[in-house]
Amino acid sequence: MAGSVSTEWTISGTGISVRNRTVLAAMTNKQSEEDGTLSDAEINWLHGRAEGGFGIITTAASHVHPSGKSWEGEMGVWGDHQIPRLKELASGIRERGALSLVQIFHGGLRAPRTLTGEQPVSASSNYEKGVEEECRGLSDSEIHELAASFGEAAERCEKAGFDGIEVHGAHGYLICQFLGTRTNRREDRWGGDLRGRSLFLREVLREIRSRTSESFLVCVRISPEHDVGVTMSESLELSTMMVDWDVDMIHISCWDAFTGAQGEPDDSRTITRRFREELGEEVPLISTGSVWDGSDAQFVIDEGADLVGVARVAIAHSHWASEIEGDGFAPERPPFTPEHLINQGLSPTFVDYMRRWKGFVTDGRISQK
């Protein structure tokens, strides 16, 4: 239905064209400086993927406020001191022919005091597995302030020359914590039914739109299902709500784009197909999860995605997006040697981080997920 993964496409409703249907999905790589500014290594890695033919390059998750930092080496977009290096990144991506998005987020209950110097915050007070301490629920005025931080961060990204931002509403971070019934038990207007639990996201989007120009791309990434209390049926409903909130693209983080929703085993349709059916043909949809070769990518497009995101395969194959255009490209699968990854433009810091992903590096964690 949707055409070939390697052909140019105009993002519906925007007039902005992208050279093919591939997206480098956001990937944390721990290479930023202590104050959130980009390092040479992080800029080189992303320029390398733009060189390698991707249509859209997304940065690593980047915190919009110092209180939202979730790990060491995290990219930040919370201060003007970060703009000069952001400019270098954005201009280099553009020169290499790709569009650029900064993924903006706040870690919420997953932003530990050891990094931020303060008690973590979230929709409600929660004590999740794996975190250092119980977080506290945000006050009404703090919620407004944090939403404004997203807007200010987006403004900074536009000033630096990016084509847009991706609001990270997935994977259990602050926006996802607001969306989830388990982590958001508020009884005020920021909680309750889906409309209430998504009000923070809506406010974030309103702040972004009020501070950026009309042509600035605004994408939202969500987890269709998440154990914070996000379900497939509510995510479908949320996606139709977002269409009215002036969102340019919706990105679903499926982890496995070849299966159906885990919480609804009787429905064998892929998650991508279900979103497409719910949204109709016009809403730009990115889908990501376990794509390895060109036929995988084409499958996701044929299921109804307009753009297909990849992460792990692009770490190991810098020119994946160009190479899938040719016949017979069969990208090697993990584990990869550290030397191979260094040759693909990763720094030793990034290689070391990848050792924690099971089965990815020959001398890293051994078993597959």
Ligand X SMILES: Cc1cc2nc3c(=O)[nH]c(=O)nc-3n(C[C@H](O)[C@H](O)[C@H](O)COP(=O)(O)O)c2cc1C
* Helical axes 83-95 vs 40-51, angle rounded to 10°: 20
Q: Is the peptide bond before 265 cis (omega within 30 degrees of 0)?
A: no
Q: Which is nearer to ligand X, 106 or 312 (CB)?
A: 312
Q: Which stretch binds ligand X (CB under 6 A): 33-41, 226-234, 242-250, 304-312?
A: 304-312
Task: Report the residue number, 125 or 349, with the smaller CB distance to ligand X.
Answer: 349
Contact stretch for ligand X (CB under 6 A) within 24-32, 84-92, 194-202, 207-215 = 24-32
User: Does residue 255 interact with ligand X by CB under 6 A?
Assistant: yes
Q: Give the other-Cβ count within 10 Å of 345's Cβ.
A: 18
Strand partners, 58: 101
* Other CB atoms within 10 A of residue 135 CB: 26
- At residue 30, the 3 state secondary structure works out as coil
From CA 362, how far away is CA 155, in angstroms rounded?
41
Stretch that binds ligand X, among 15-23, 112-120, 197-205, 309-317 (CB under 6 A): 309-317
Buried/exposed code over 166-188 (b: 16+ C-beta within 10 A; e: otherwise): bbbbbbbbbbbbbbbbebbbbee
Q: Does 61 engage in binding with ligand X (CB under 6 A)? A: yes
Per-residue 3-state assignment (H helix, E strand, C coil) for 228-257: CCECHHHHHHHHHHHHCCCCCEEEEECCCC
State yes or no: residue 103 binds ligand X (CB under 6 A).
yes
Q: Which of 91, 119, 290, 362 binds ligand X (CB under 6 A)?
A: 290
Q: Is position 41 an interface residue for ligand X (rule: CB under 6 A)? A: no
Chain residues 152-191 in contact with ligand X, contact rule CB under 6 A: 168, 170-171
Q: Where are the alpha helices (DSSP H) in the chain?
A: 40-51, 83-95, 113-116, 140-160, 174-179, 194-197, 199-211, 232-243, 271-279, 294-302, 312-316, 320-323, 338-343, 348-354
Q: Contact with ligand X (CB under 6 A): which of 76, 92, 284, 289?
A: 289
The reply to whether 102 sits near ligand X by the rule CB under 6 A is: no
56 forms part of the interface with ligand X (CB under 6 A): no
Q: Does 298 bind ligand X (CB under 6 A)?
A: no
Q: Which is nearer to ligand X, 186 or 287 (CB)?
A: 287
Give the interface segment with ligand X, choosing from 20-28, 84-92, 175-183, 320-328 (CB under 6 A): 20-28
118, β-bridge pairs: none
Binding flag, residue 38, ligand X (CB under 6 A): no
Q: Burial letters for 222-244: b for 16+ Cβ neighbours within 10 Å, e otherwise?
A: bbbbbebbbbbebbbebbeebee
Pick the piece of the chain touching ligand X (CB under 6 A) from 5-13, 23-31, 88-96, 318-326: 23-31
Q: Which is nearer to ligand X, 27 or 321 (CB)?
A: 27
Per CB under 6 A, does 220 bind ligand X?
no
Where along the sequence are the contacts to ligand X (CB under 6 A)?
A: 25-28, 60-61, 103, 168, 170-171, 221, 253, 255, 288-291, 310-313, 357
